[in-house]
Amino acid sequence: MLSLKNIMENSYGLWPLVIINSLVFIIFAFSFTKPKTLRDWRSFGAFSAFIVALFTEMYGFPLTIYLFSGWLSTKFPGIDFFAHNSGHLFEDFFGWGGDPHFGPFHIASYILIIYGFMLLSKAWKVLYKAQSEHTLAITGPYARIRHPQYVGFILIILGFFLQWPTLLTLIMFPILMWMYTRLARSEEKEAQKEFGALWDEYAQKTPAFIPHLIKTPKYIS
Amino acid, single-letter form, for residue 170: L
Residue 176 confidence class, pLDDT cut points 50, 70, 90: very high
Q: How many helices and strands (H and E) does the chain possess?
A: 10, 0
| 93, part of any domain | yes
pTM for this predicted structure = 0.84
Amino acid, single-letter form, for residue 159: G
Q: What is the span of the domain harbouring residue 83?
A: 4-205
Q: Is the dihedral of CA 34, 53, 19, 103 positive or negative?
A: negative
| 104, part of any domain | yes
| Collapsed DSSP state (helix, strand, coil) of residue 196 | coil
Max mean pLDDT among 2-6, 24-28, 39-43, 215-219 falls in 24-28
Q: What is the DSSP letter of 176?
A: H
Rounded to an integer, what distance in angstroms lies between the CA atom of residue 80 and that of residue 176? 32
Residue 211's contacts (CB-CB under 8 Å, 6 or more residues apart) are 144, 145
Asked whether residue 23 carries a pLDDT value surpassing 90, the answer given is yes
Rounded to an integer, what distance in angstroms lies between the CA atom of residue 54 and that of residue 157? 10
| 191, part of any domain | yes
Asked whether residue 39 carries a pLDDT value surpassing 90, the answer given is no
Q: Show the CA angle centred on residue 32, arms to residues 221 and 112, nearest 5°.
A: 90
- Residue 193: alpha-carbon gap to chain centroid: 30
- Whether 100 and 91 have beta carbons less than 8 Å apart is answered as yes
Length of the chain: 221
* Each residue's pLDDT tens digit, 43-83: 899 999 999 999 999 999 999 998 998 899 898 888 888 88
| 128, part of any domain | yes
Rounded to an integer, what distance in angstroms lies between the CA atom of residue 31 and that of residue 99? 32
| 100, part of any domain | yes
Rounded to an integer, what distance in angstroms lies between the CA atom of residue 169 and that of residue 54? 7
| Collapsed DSSP state (helix, strand, coil) of residue 147 | coil
Residue 175 confidence class, pLDDT cut points 50, 70, 90: very high
Domain count, the chain: 1
pLDDT number for residue 96? 78
pLDDT number for residue 215? 60
Q: What is the CATH number of the domain that holds 153?
A: 1.20.120
pLDDT number for residue 136? 94
| 219, part of any domain | no
| 109, part of any domain | yes
Q: Tell me the mean pLDDT in the region 94-122.
A: 90
| 221, part of any domain | no
Counting beta carbons within 10 angstroms of the beta carbon of residue 169, is it exposed (0 to 12), middle (13 to 18) or buried (19 or more)? buried
